[in-house]
Amino acid sequence: MANINCATLLEDIKMLLPSGNSLTDDQMLIVIKRIMGQVGSDEQFYGEVACKALRTIADINSSKANVEQGGLKREKVGDHEVEYAVTSSGGASWDDFKRSLNDLCPVMYGYSFKTTTGMVINTTAIPNPLCPPSYSAGYL
């Protein structure tokens, strides 16, 4: 079986990334290689590696956008200077892109992210360690 060509995969996912991508090709190759190390480098994992790389690149870009665009802003009017914190939603477009991957990846690569919902209920009796066994009989 053939191994995934990192350069080809990079070119495939670059065309899907929004224009605000701030990562270099070398940085994206590092992300791809780390995911290949976790998932596998066989050609059968191409879709999974591509989708997970897209999601990771979106996470990194979202974090960078939130950190770099926020900060302090100063305004001077006459003799008064006002300083205040500025928050931005620079990562919001990356969050939208990340949500769109749930629809994009099954169509483009045949890979769906695994999601789990619900809860687990344990119905086994748990004895009270503070109560002697003779007193707790029947109250489990």
> What is the rounded CA–CA span in Å between residue 112 and residue 106?
5
pTM: 0.68
Higher pLDDT, 2 or 59: 59
User: Judging by beta carbons within 10 Å of its beta carbon (0-12, 13-18, 19+), is residue 4 exposed, middle or buried?
Assistant: buried
The DSSP H or E segment spanning 39 is helix 25-39
Residues in the chain: 140
- Output 69 or 3, whichever has higher pLDDT: 3
Token pair of 118, please?
Answer: 């619900």
Average pLDDT score over residue span 77-103 = 75
Looking at the predicted structure, is the pLDDT value of residue 113 above 80?
yes
φ, ψ of residue 137 in degrees (nearest 5):
-65, 130
Check pLDDT > 70 for residue 85. no
Catalogue the E-assigned strands of the chain.
Answer: 71-77, 80-86
| Per-residue pLDDT band at 46 (split at 50, 70, 90) | very high
Query: Residue 77's pLDDT is what?
Result: 74
* Residue 128 pLDDT > 70: no
Q: Specify whether the CB–CB gap between 23 and 57 falls below 8 A.
A: yes
Angstrom CA distances, 136 to 36, 115, 124, stand at 54, 41, 15
The confidence score (pLDDT) of residue 8 equals 92
The identity of residue 18, as a single letter, is P
What is the C-alpha separation between 38 and 58, in angstroms, rounded?
A: 18
Question: In this predicted structure, what is the pLDDT of residue 117?
Answer: 76
* The residue to which tokens 């979202």 are assigned: 62
Q: From CA 11, how far away is CA 32, in angstroms rounded?
A: 12
- Tell me what the mean pLDDT of segment 22-47 comes to: 92
